[in-house]
Amino acid sequence: MDQSKSATGAVGVLLACVFVVSSAFAGEPDTRVRTEDIMFQDLNLTTTAGVDTLYQRIHSAAQRVCAESGQSNLAASASAKCTKNSLARAIKEIDLPALTAFAANR
């Protein structure tokens, strides 16, 4: 699979999750969508170290785009759920068996 195509798909997955969660926090839907590119052309995805680094990049990006300012308990819970869902969807979208197996063992 083409790595640049995979990165674009992963970002698209993160966007969808953020929009749904951010809408749940406000009285009116938040139409802003936060995005973050996930670059991994520099990684050797045939190694455990490369796959681990990719996982960490995806996880960190999901945390950043799902973070809410003024964290109440409800917002923190929704942000954590957004992060978990975004991470899972991005991993599925990238469709790299080594990454899927790595995530399943975390």
Q: pLDDT averaged over consecutive 10-residue blocks of the chain (106 residues)? A: 48 46 50 74 94 95 78 73 88 92 94
91 in a structural domain: yes
- The answer to pTM > 0.85 is no
Residue 43 structure tokens: 């990684």
d(CA 45, CA 58): 14
9 in a structural domain: yes
Question: What pLDDT was estimated at residue 20?
Answer: 46
Range of the domain at 7: 3-97
61 in a structural domain: yes
d(CA 106, CA 104): 6
Total tally of structural domains belonging to the chain: 1
34 in a structural domain: yes
40 within 8 A of 16, measured Cβ to Cβ: no
Question: What pLDDT was estimated at residue 13?
Answer: 46
Question: What pLDDT was estimated at residue 82?
Answer: 85
